[in-house]
Amino acid sequence: MKHLTKNDRLLFIFFTIMVLAGPIILAPFGAGYPDLLQRFAIFGLFAVGFNILFGMTGYLSFGHAAFLGVGSYSAVWMFKLLTMNVIPALFLSVVISGLFALLIGFVSLRRSGIYFSILTLAFAQMSYNLAYSVLTPITNGETGLQLNLSDPRILDAANTTGSIPSTNLFGLTMNSTAKFELLGLVFQFNVGFYFCALILIAGFYIAMRIARSPFGLMLLAIKTNQTRLNYTGVNTRPYTLAAFVISGMYAGLAGGLMAITDPLAGAERMQWTASGEVVLMTILGGVGTLLGPVLGAGFIKYFENIFSKINDSVLESWFSFLPEGLSDAMVFVLHFFVGKGWHLTLGLLFMLVVIFLPGGLMEGGTRLYNAFRSKDTKSSKDEPKAAE
Amino acid sequence: MSRITTTRRGLLKGGATLGAGLALPTIFTSPAAAYLNEPKGSTVTLGFNVPQTGPYADEGADELRAYLLAVEHLNGEGDGGMMNTFSSKALKGNGILGKKVTYVTGDTQTKSDAARASAKSMIEKDGAVMITGGSSSGVAVAVQALCQEAGVIFMAGLTHSNDTTGKDRKANGFRHFFNGYMSGAALAPVLEKMYGKDRRAYHLTADYNWGWTQQESIAAATEAKGWETVNNVTTPLTTTDFSSYVAPVLNSGADVLVLNHYGGNMINSLTSAVQFGLRDKVVNGKNFEIVVPLYSRLMARGAGENVKGIFGSTNWHWSLTDAGSKAFVKSFGEKYGFPPSQAAHTVYCQTLLYADACERAGTFNPCGVVEALEGFKFDGLGNGATEYRAEDHQCFKDVLVVKGKENPTSEFDVLEIVEVTPREQVEYAPDHEMFSGGALGTCNPGA
């Protein structure tokens, strides 16, 4: 069990290729621009980490956004005080969010089930309110923590350009983008995205190794029947706490990456709706699967960023080929589902997925795959063996 | 095994296409442009980033209406609105610099993160050369910083916090709307005249950037007139029931309640204050009074009867009778059937001012636009003579002190203008202590 199976390796290779080719694959869907790609990778990482706790261990945390926020604040403070290089920022965001998770996990994990969820929710909401108004010297409240020209940045050379320097990895700036035009599409290859993508791939690999390790088996056992484990004399607390801290560190890493791609940390990042979002992503994609959370994250972010920007004039251009009355009717009906109505569309889709595919998008994928395979095996049985 | 063969072929084909795609970079566009998102075709794209959901959705919807009207007028459709009364005649009704104006819209959700994501996608995906909008100072400050980093112009919409052009000012950002300091400076003399010098004020303040700076400004201005600030209580932006905040006011010994709230917040807090009977009370031998420093017609309409006789300040009001205001109210009214709000007015002006600056600069290059707008003096946009001050990119113009109308003639006719406070009275030095701590930096063209 210590080693990955052949299927796992294939999955990992497939995943790596898909992520690295993201800018090419997503360009035809209007999602191939750096900001959204970065969001896909970051929230994918967030969901992968969340899945270690929720999917593998069975503990539903409703406060994971707090770690995301803590990670962001740590990273921005590093940018303000130390250097615009991303390495110290990421390091601090992982460490601080890990410590924070240790503290919250130590208290919350005394309970399980709904009580655990409520405790984490309470902690997250507390952190949000602290960040929003009480700790304003550290968090800058509702406006969010931002970089200023007058920040010390003691490791960097004195800044005389009059503009805030951009985040970089030893001189390689995160917001530099190479653009290629082909077949009427613009492909944008962005440094920040590839940085996030590599971290996502590494995070995915670690999650995979955890899932296939004895530690992962123990987590699975806790999810299946914790009482029985307790009766057999196993102390489950260290395992759940470890899972909680690991997933908190993933969230902190994601928060740090958010600050790297866009150096601002806002309190609303910690709000309970943000915590709920990652739960939705995981359920939508498929709880307990490795790939599902990343798919779910992509799905939700796509809706938030693409559907919310379709306005009536865009709709009109889509249906301009229809006769006048009909196109107006189409625009009138669809008006409620796009633009400011994107929440409605997402909610409907979420309902459909939960009702018909309780295992999330991954279940849909598996069903499709099985449907094709059974057809294939049937046809290959019918074929004369001589073909081989 | 036919299955494997097709897979392999498919894989080969896919791989070949992919390889070809990667190996043949046709045009390397990014270094070719002189500045970010230089419009190369026959159109230019502007990004309208307004709250379509959340507590300021009403303001956002009205802003969007005004943006669409401005685009029509710039492209030479409709009656031209304030383009005809604008003192600068650079705009010809053929788009901007001969390019037709197109636009993209986005939802800020009144959250900094969402607003920045939306603005980023406008810049990176849609190629917007200017971002405008925002109905909250937090969002405006966040998006302004983003535009500075990215290298596009930001024309702020409804943002009243001192910080937008104070400690968070940016070279690429411009604000036409007035601010908390100006409200205080305009309102305090009127309040002194109406309510006397010896007053004790209790502040309820929306707990975010705008609320804080407005509270600070109003407290400073009224204290200079001899008032005393008894207490300041901050309320979360998401509060809907203010009764627990209003109840303690009665026992505080205060005789004036200042509501540093906006939008839905103000409607709810004012309604609770009136329901508690505050306005009928006599404290310290004086009638209890309520003040709402930042008024808008949308809010006054929402609060209904309760606004009668309550003083506040506003950037613009549709009942103004100068030629610019009349032209704007007329074309807005003809298109939508009701008069525009101050939010609609300020974003319409901002769009026109941007377009005009591009025409005068002869380029969309942010640095050229910044140069054209800095120190620009204009008239005919409804506020009288106005100047974009070069030091902080803030517009200086007259401020209106208004009062809830006692006998409204329609649901839109809810405010009456009490006084037009001249520009000199609300002006301050760029390094005034409420505005210090920031630096414009240099303009950033992005490329």
> Residue B153: beta bridge partners?
B130
> What was the pLDDT predicted at A174?
83
Amino acid symbol at A199: I
Question: A159 or A233, which is more confident?
Answer: A233
Whether chain A has a CB inside 8 Å of the CB on B132: the answer is no
Radius of gyration of chain B (CA): 24
Tokens encoding A113: 């089930």
Inter-chain contact A380–B3, Cβ cutoff 8 Å?
Answer: yes
Whether chain A has a CB inside 8 Å of the CB on B233: the answer is no
Chain B positions in Cβ-Cβ contact with residue A264 (cut-off 8 Å): 112-113, 116, 142, 145-146
Same domain for A132 and A186 = yes
Query: Three-state DSSP class for B258?
Result: strand
> What was the pLDDT predicted at B129?
93
**Nearest-10 Cα torsion for A46, A49, A51, A54:** -100
Residue A347 domain flag: yes
pLDDT of residue A78 exceeding 70, the answer is yes
For residue B413, the 8-state DSSP code is -
Considering only alpha carbons, which residue of chain A is nearest residue B33?
A179
Residue A387 domain flag: no
Phi first, then psi: give them for residue A120, nearest 5 degrees.
-65, -40
Whether chain A has a CB inside 8 Å of the CB on B265: the answer is no
Whether chain B has a CB inside 8 Å of the CB on A382: the answer is no
By the 8 A CB rule, do B290 and B310 touch? yes
Q: Smallest Cα–Cα separation from B343: which of B262, B411, B404?
A: B262
Instruction: Compare CB distances from B124 to A35, A148, A163 and report the shortest one's residue.
Output: A35
Residues of chain B with pLDDT under 50: 1-6, 18-31
CATH classification (class only), B43-178+318-396 = alpha beta
Considering only alpha carbons, which residue of chain B is nearest residue A136?
B208
pLDDT single digits (tens) A166-183 = 888 888 888 888 888 777
> What was the pLDDT predicted at B32?
53
Inter-chain contact A262–B26, Cβ cutoff 8 Å?
Answer: no
Which of A148-157, A158-167, B322-331 has the lowest average pLDDT? A158-167
Same domain for A254 and A130 = yes
Inter-chain contact A308–B168, Cβ cutoff 8 Å?
Answer: no
Whether chain B has a CB inside 8 Å of the CB on A273: the answer is no
| Domain tally, chain A | 2
Residue A52 domain flag: yes
Query: Three-state DSSP class for B126?
Result: coil
From CA B123, how far away is CA A85, in angstroms rounded?
24
Same domain for A262 and A191 = yes
Query: Three-state DSSP class for B36?
Result: coil
Residue A343 domain flag: yes
Q: Smallest Cα–Cα separation from B149: which of A162, A91, A322, A105?
A: A162
Considering only alpha carbons, which residue of chain B is nearest residue A133?
B207
Mean pLDDT for A20-38 is 87
Using CA atoms, how far residue B230 sits from A34, B216, B252, B295, B310, in Å, is: 51, 13, 7, 23, 20
Inter-chain contact B138–A142, Cβ cutoff 8 Å?
Answer: yes
Chain A positions in Cβ-Cβ contact with residue B141 (cut-off 8 Å): 143, 146
Domain's final residue, options A302, A331, A363: A302
Which of A107-111, A214-218, B3-7 has the lowest average pLDDT? B3-7
User: What residues 333-372 of chain B have any CB closer than 8 A to a CB of chain A?
Assistant: none
CA distance A258 to chain B (A): 10
> Residue A179: beta bridge partners?
A188
pTM: 0.84
Q: Smallest Cα–Cα separation from B194: which of B222, B153, B159, B228?
A: B222
- The structural domains of chain B, with segments of one domain joined by +, span 43-178+318-396, 181-314
> What was the pLDDT predicted at A385?
45
Residue A386 domain flag: no
Using CA atoms, how far residue B316 sits from A292, A345, B133, in Å, is: 52, 38, 17
Instruction: Compare CB distances from B21 to A24, A163, A304 and report the shortest one's residue.
Output: A24
Whether chain A has a CB inside 8 Å of the CB on B5: the answer is no
Considering only alpha carbons, which residue of chain B is nearest residue A375?
B3
CA distance B415 to chain A (A): 30
Instruction: Compare CB distances from B112 to A144, A147, A161 and report the shortest one's residue.
Output: A144
Whether chain B has a CB inside 8 Å of the CB on A213: the answer is no
Whether chain A has a CB inside 8 Å of the CB on B65: the answer is no
Q: Smallest Cα–Cα separation from A291: which of A25, A33, A63, A55?
A: A55
From CA A142, how far away is CA A385, in angstroms rounded?
70
Same CATH topology for B43-178+318-396 and B181-314: the answer is yes
Considering only alpha carbons, which residue of chain A is nearest residue B106?
A309
Which of A36-45, A68-77, A150-159, B218-227 has the lowest average pLDDT? A150-159
Same domain for A218 and A130 = yes
Inter-chain contact A340–B2, Cβ cutoff 8 Å?
Answer: no
From CA A227, how far away is CA A211, in angstroms rounded?
21
> What was the pLDDT predicted at A46?
93
pLDDT of residue A141 exceeding 80, the answer is no
> What was the pLDDT predicted at B7?
55
A106-134 as b/e: b if 16+ CB within 10 A = eebbeebeeebbebbbebbbebbbbbbbe
Whether chain A has a CB inside 8 Å of the CB on B49: the answer is no
> What was the pLDDT predicted at B393?
92
What lies within 8 Å, CB to CB, of B16 at 6+ separation is: none
Inter-chain contact A146–B145, Cβ cutoff 8 Å?
Answer: yes
Whether chain B has a CB inside 8 Å of the CB on A375: the answer is no
Tokens encoding A319: 């249906």
Residue located via tokens 């440094």? A191
Q: How many CA atoms lie within 13 A of B170 on its CB side?
A: 28
Instruction: Compare CB distances from A164 to B138, B149, B207 and report the shortest one's residue.
Output: B149
Residue located via tokens 């790297």? A260
Considering only alpha carbons, which residue of chain A is nearest residue B30?
A179
> What was the pLDDT predicted at B149?
86
Whether chain B has a CB inside 8 Å of the CB on A159: the answer is no
Q: What number of C-beta contacts closer than 8 Å exist between A and B?
A: 139
Instruction: Compare CB distances from A309 to B27, B121, B171 and report the shortest one's residue.
Output: B121
Residue located via tokens 């990004």? B47
Query: Three-state DSSP class for B364?
Result: coil
Whether chain B has a CB inside 8 Å of the CB on A286: the answer is no
Whether chain A has a CB inside 8 Å of the CB on B321: the answer is no
Instruction: Compare CB distances from B105 to A144, A161, A311 and report the shortest one's residue.
Output: A311
Find the length of chain B.
Answer: 447
What rounded mean pLDDT belongs to chain A?
Answer: 86
Chain A positions in Cβ-Cβ contact with residue B138 (cut-off 8 Å): 142-144
> What was the pLDDT predicted at A45?
94
Inter-chain contact B444–A141, Cβ cutoff 8 Å?
Answer: no
The percentage of residues in chain A with a pLDDT greater than 90, rounded to a whole number, is 37
pLDDT of residue A3 exceeding 70, the answer is no
User: What residues 4-33 of chain A have any CB closer than 8 A to a CB of chain B?
Assistant: 21, 24, 30, 33
Please classify residue B407 by burial: count the beta carbons closer than 10 Å to its beta carbon, then call 0-12 exposed, 13-18 middle and 19+ buried: exposed
Query: Three-state DSSP class for B29?
Result: coil
Q: How many separate helices (H) and strands (E) can be counted in chain B?
A: 13, 17
Domain encompassing residue A317: 310-379
pLDDT of residue A102 exceeding 80, the answer is yes
From CA A118, how far away is CA A205, in angstroms rounded?
31
Diameter of chain A by CA atoms? 78
pLDDT single digits (tens) A303-317 = 888 777 777 777 777
Inter-chain contact A180–B438, Cβ cutoff 8 Å?
Answer: no
Same domain for A108 and A44 = yes
**Which 3-state string (H, E, C) describes chain A?**
CCCCCHHHHHHHHHHHHHHHCHHHHHHHHCCCCHHHHHHHHHHHHHHHHHHHHHHHHCCCCCCCHHHHHHHHHHHHHHHHHCCCEHHHHHHHHHHHHHHHHHHHHHHHCCCCHHHHHHHHHHHHHHHHHHHHHHCHHHHCHHHCEECCCCCCCCCCCCCCCCCCCCCEECCEECCCEEEEEECCEEEEEEHHHHHHHHHHHHHHHHHHHHHCCHHHHHHHHHHHHHHHHHHCCCCCHHHHHHHHHHHHHHHHHHHHHHHHHCCEECHHHHCHHHHHHHHHHHHHHCCCCCCHHHHHHHHHHHHHHHHHHCCHHHHHHHCCCCCHHHHHHHHHHHCCCCHHHHHHHHHHHHHHHHHHCCCHHHHHHHHHHHHHHHHHHHHHHHCCHHHC
Whether chain A has a CB inside 8 Å of the CB on B34: the answer is no
Instruction: Compare CB distances from A33 to B121, B168, B236 and report the shortest one's residue.
Output: B121
CA distance A151 to chain B (A): 11
Q: E strands of B405-444, at which residues?
A: 415-421
Question: A254 or A307, which is more confident?
Answer: A254
pLDDT of residue A200 exceeding 90, the answer is yes
ipTM for the predicted complex comes to 0.80
Same domain for A363 and A245 = no
By the 8 A CB rule, do B434 and B181 touch? yes
Residue A126 domain flag: yes
Using CA atoms, how far residue B137 sits from B106, B133, B166, B217, in Å, is: 17, 11, 12, 15
Domain's final residue, options A302, A332, A359: A302
Considering only alpha carbons, which residue of chain A is nearest residue B117?
A35
User: What residues 79-108 of chain A have any CB closer than 8 A to a CB of chain B?
Assistant: none
Whether chain B has a CB inside 8 Å of the CB on A339: the answer is yes
Domain's final residue, options A274, A302, A330: A302
Inter-chain contact B18–A21, Cβ cutoff 8 Å?
Answer: yes
CATH number attached to the domain at B181-314? 3.40.50.2300
